[in-house]
Structure 1
Amino acid sequence: MTTAAMPATPADPGAAEAADVTGRLDALDDMLRLGGGRLDPRLLDEAGALLDRAGERLRLSGEHTVVTLAGGTGSGKSTLFNAICGLELSPTGLRRPMTSKAHACVWGLDGAGPLLDWLDVDKRHRYARASALDTARSDTSLQGLVLLDLPDHDSIRAEHRAEADRFVTIADLLVWVVDPQKYADAALHRDYIVPFARYAGVTLIVLNQVDRLQPEEVDDCVADLRRLLQAEGLADPRIVTASAASPDGVLGFREVLVDTVAARRARAQRITTDLDRLAERFAGQSGADEPPAGVPAPARAALVEELTDAAGAPAVAEAMESAYELRAADFVGWPVASLADRLRSDPLRRMRLGELREELRNAFTGPVGAQQGDVDNALAAVAETVTGTLPPPWARAVRAAARRHAGELPEDLGEALKDALPTFNQVPRWWWLIKTWQYFLVLATALCVLWIGLLVAYGVFGAGGDGANGLIGDAGLIPYVAVLAVCTLGMGYLTNLACRNMVALQSANHGERMERHMLDSIERVAEAKVLKPIADELAVYAQFRKDAAALRG
């Protein structure tokens, strides 16, 4: 690398990748918040663990690249580790297992302490090397490298295997060290290569101990290893050969480490791969179709209609219409006909008028409302209109939102009907005018009858002698007064007929008006208790889809 090329190199080559990763992590954080209680808890737990792990890694030193040496018993990990470090830092030998705890060697201590604490590397197994080690090859400086020697993944000690597994999931660059005899080890490929196949970009395979092979055997062994890895899903695997038996045997591996550290992209690439893997897990939770913003207008109208029927609003409106007519009869009816009805003693009418009025006055003062079964059917129907294209978890969430207030709806609908009913002590003013006019006609008729009686007594039978007044003593007035009485009776009867027709028309309008009022009240209840929760849940799902797209990058 020439000096002239240095200004063109950004201070942090991985800054753009880190910024992109940060945006994807923010989207994942929002998805966890939105998916809580809706999606598979195991998936959310996995996503939460990745979010915590990635957030911590981004918060810690970006100047350092964590590289782990993992492998099986006898693969020569520790020997390779010591060869790169230039010192005997990790114990080697024939006795297995030799490495029981992760050993770390750091090039450049500034900022590495918190990173090693997060990696949970025992302070007794931390080592530092100055960049002066690389003065002989200044173009291959390892400044910023954190190299870890892990316990054997196939150790007979469970705690050793757990230690290796932990670092495998958090390393920036994962290096698998294999030897010519055991590179096809089934446990390695089954438990690590296949599950982590998509991590090819941050995975390196080191075929160690090639000094045991003939030169022509090395190429055959590498070719066979590559074939095996590709068959297991590791796309374009990176393979280098190494041998700690000679000073130049680790140069190829060292060059890869130098390039990785210089690029400073392994950290972001590892997290990016983790996010890609998680995005695939979330793919089934986010449908391809854009969700509706709310319940369509026809379904809204159908819901209100079904809730109206469930609450019995049409029957209440019809009863209100009947009550209106009965109450009007008390005001605009012809008192003479009412008196005749009372003399006939019709108990059914008295019972209907009195009990119906009391029922309508008291029907909605308590928690009496719609039938729960009818309400449940209406809620299920409206939910199905918007869940057809939703993934199963979100369809369940929308159905749950529709039923969130199902237990409250019958009482709320009853209260809505109660609020829509008029008070019974309010009557139209013209009723009072007609009532006054009818009683005036009754009074006039009564006076006419009294007048006729006086005319008969004084004019016909001469009860008052010759001194009787002409208005009560002239029997010839009897026909005229009788006609006047008949006219007042006729006027009362005709007034009664006209008012009954008018009341019939107004009672129908009154019933329709009450039904509209009840419909408006029920619509407000449906909006607050059903439609808004569904719309809110659909809005959550829409935001989740946007975050899922951002997570996919």
Structure 2
Amino acid sequence: MTTSAIPANTPMGPGGAPILGTPVAGAAVPAVEAPGLTDRLDGLDRLVAAGAGRLDRPLLDDAAALLDRAGQRLRLSGEHTVVTLAGGTGSGKSSLFNAICGLELSPTGVRRPMTSKAHACVWGLDGAGPLLDWLDVEKRHRYARASALDMERADSSLQGLVLLDLPDHDSIQALHRAEVDRFVTIADLLVWVVDPQKYADAALHRNYIVPFARHTGVTLIVLNQVDRLGPDEIDDCVADLRRLLEAEGLTQPRVVTTSAVSEDGVTGFRDILVDTVAARRARSERLSADVDRLAERFAVHRFTADPPVTLEEDRQLELVQSLTDAAGAPAVAEAMESAYELRAADFVGWPVAALIDRLRSDPLRRMRLTELREELRNAFTGPIGAQQGDVDNALHTVTDGVAAELPPPWARSVRAAARSHATEIPEALGESLKAALPTFNQVPRWWWLVKTWQFFLVLVAVLSVAWIGLLVAYGIVEIGGDDPPGLVGEAGLIPYVAVLAVCTLGMGWLTSSACRNLVALSSAKHGEKMELHMNEGIERVAEEKVVAPVTAELELYARFRRDVETALGRVTR
């Protein structure tokens, strides 16, 4: 039998057997801790900021209220645990309150309701004052007790307990119900006191048990007045109550039985209070449960699949092409080519041909010349921009692909981000086109050289014609007498001078034709270059005004997803 080699530093168990799965030295993987309460609250705060203008206002308001409440509670005494006794009419919560306190502090009796204001009993006054002020307990309803109530058990202490007796949640007085609702949202431990007759009260379960089903860890159900039941009836009643609570979403609900009139009837409940106070965890567990509840409401607004990071490349290319068409860049480039050729004709054209054209009355040519000059002037100095309707059409479908992969609120925000600068885009396109165009007086140097050469040829041709005229006048007609100068009196020079004039005119025409061909080639390259520059400008506009806002929104959604995981208390990577 063959065996694989075992590293020398592998831990060994009894008998020399290797302990498989145990990290060896140098190969330990650092543990990643789950976010703590402070990190979760920070994540929730970021969720509120990210959701502004995107998610439902009630959700953001509830989260903001929780953040405010949590901040205030964390700044107050962490040595005290706030426990509320809440229940319906006749459940005996005030009697239970008095039994735990050891004194008749909260009024009891047949008349209902007996408790109209919250009564507080505090074990340990150091730091309790600001907490009671925050709880808004009236000073005349505040009581203090010694740190040890059960002298028979040396290890039991309620030091740090703030026990509250609340009004009836089913009171006919609206102020009483509002008082209960307020304390239910801020207590560290929720204790619901029910009696054997009304433990299935619909108002209690509908208004409090079900909405706070996720708060099982900080909820205790006290079945009071069990002295009215037999032993078997107590077990049946507890089993039925537990079944009802589990059906309503409470996982492993804690149920304890009490009797305020029986000896040791509250011992089990008091033991739970002692353990809760000693652990000093109820405050953070309550806030964690509240964060869980809010984080789950945020979680429905994020998909589990990895989100897109930007617009698809083909969508960006389609957007640039649509904006290019909206800005009329191809037409501007074509006008630039025509304007370039028209401008070149003023420099490289044969002046003689231009003079003949001017003598010929051609309305169509004159109209085209005027239009091209106007195009040229507008291309360089006039406003260039796209129509808003064309821009809106270009933005209409640009985010369809990416929005389909997002939850509805974020899909709407991404579409809004794509259109956030819609009114600025026409002017920005115009500015980008104008920036790509050369100045009006920008002329290549060789045009000036050709123009100088053409005028030199015109001058030679004119002088040649004048010379022929002088030769005719002095050499043939003999206007100047018998002894004219040789250069103007020799008639035999006429053919040579005529040839010079014809050659000069021919050179001018050939120069003009060759230059026009060069201008046609260079104008096409010039138009392509201008169109390339304009496309680069349009791409920058698309990136700045559309792609960048959409990308920023997608990055915000990605951070939103991570913050949801943080608020839920999960490890994010």
Q: TM tier, shorter chain?
A: over 0.9
Give the distance between the partners of 1:366 and 1:294, measured in 2 at CA.
Answer: 36
Give the distance between the partners of 2:409 and 2:72, measured in 1 at CA.
Answer: 30
Structure 1 stretches lacking a partner, 5+ long: 1-16
Q: Does 1:508 align with 2:524?
A: yes
Q: CA deviation at 1:302?
A: 2.4
Q: CA deviation at 1:362?
A: 3.4
Moved more, 42-51 or 391-400: 391-400
Match of 1:84 in 2: 100
Structure 2 stretches lacking a partner, 5+ long: 1-32
One of 470, 479, 501 as aligned partner of 1:485: 501
Q: Does 1:310 align with 2:326?
A: yes
Q: CA deviation at 1:384?
A: 2.4
One of 522, 540, 543 as aligned partner of 1:524: 540
- Does the Cα contact within 8 Å between 1:68 and 1:150 map onto a contact in 2? yes
Structure-2 change in CA distance of 1:154 and 1:364 (3 Å): farther
Match of 1:397 in 2: 413
- Does the Cα contact within 8 Å between 1:323 and 1:353 map onto a contact in 2? no
Alignment of 1:91-490 (within 5 A): 91-362=107-378, 368-490=384-506
- Does the Cα contact within 8 Å between 1:364 and 1:417 map onto a contact in 2? no
One of 534, 537, 559 as aligned partner of 1:543: 559
Q: CA deviation at 1:30?
A: 1.4
- Does the Cα contact within 8 Å between 2:121 and 2:143 map onto a contact in 1? yes
Give the distance between the partners of 2:343 and 2:148, measured in 1 at CA.
Answer: 107
Q: CA deviation at 1:243?
A: 0.6
- Does the Cα contact within 8 Å between 1:106 and 1:128 map onto a contact in 2? yes
Q: Which amino acid aligns with 1:378?
A: A
Q: Secondary structure at the match of 1:151?
A: strand
Give the distance between the partners of 1:269 and 1:144, measured in 2 at CA.
Answer: 16
- Does the Cα contact within 8 Å between 2:380 and 2:438 map onto a contact in 1? no
- Does the Cα contact within 8 Å between 1:295 and 1:386 map onto a contact in 2? yes
Match of 1:67 in 2: 83
Q: Secondary structure at the match of 1:135?
A: coil
Match of 2:49 in 1: 33
Q: Which has the higher helix share?
A: 1
Q: Which amino acid aligns with 1:357?
A: R
Structure-2 change in CA distance of 1:383 and 1:88 (3 Å): same
Give the distance between the partners of 2:439 and 2:210, measured in 1 at CA.
Answer: 77
Give the distance between the partners of 2:560 and 2:193, measured in 1 at CA.
Answer: 41
Moved more, 347-356 or 43-52: 347-356
- Does the Cα contact within 8 Å between 2:245 and 2:253 map onto a contact in 1? yes
Q: CA deviation at 1:110?
A: 0.9
Q: CA RMSD in A?
A: 1.8
Moved more, 153-162 or 419-428: 419-428
Match of 1:14 in 2: none
Moved more, 468-477 or 153-162: 468-477
Match of 2:10 in 1: none
- Does the Cα contact within 8 Å between 1:204 and 1:239 map onto a contact in 2? yes
Q: CA deviation at 1:109?
A: 0.9
Give the distance between the partners of 1:205 and 1:388, measured in 2 at CA.
Answer: 46
Q: Secondary structure at the match of 2:73?
A: helix
- Does the Cα contact within 8 Å between 2:308 and 2:405 map onto a contact in 1? no
Give the distance between the partners of 1:19 and 1:434, measured in 2 at CA.
Answer: 78
Q: CA deviation at 1:366?
A: 6.0
Give the distance between the partners of 2:458 and 2:135, measured in 1 at CA.
Answer: 105
Q: Secondary structure at the match of 1:140?
A: coil
- Does the Cα contact within 8 Å between 2:380 and 2:437 map onto a contact in 1? no
Q: Which amino acid aligns with 1:303?
A: L
Give the distance between the partners of 2:377 and 2:395, measured in 1 at CA.
Answer: 30
Give the distance between the partners of 1:196 and 1:127, measured in 2 at CA.
Answer: 29
Residues 66-88 of structure 1 deviation map (CA, whole Å, 9 limit, x = unaligned)? 11111110010000000000000
Q: CA deviation at 1:155?
A: 0.6
Give the distance between the partners of 1:212 and 1:35, measured in 2 at CA.
Answer: 53
TM-score (normalizing by structure 1): 0.94
Q: CA deviation at 1:356?
A: 2.8
TM-score (normalizing by structure 2): 0.90
Aligned length: 537
Q: CA deviation at 1:101?
A: 0.4
Q: Secondary structure at the match of 1:134?
A: coil
Q: CA deviation at 1:345?
A: 2.1
Q: Secondary structure at the match of 1:94?
A: coil
- Does the Cα contact within 8 Å between 2:384 and 2:433 map onto a contact in 1? no
Q: Which amino acid aligns with 1:39?
A: L
Q: CA deviation at 1:157?
A: 0.7
Q: CA deviation at 1:118?
A: 1.0
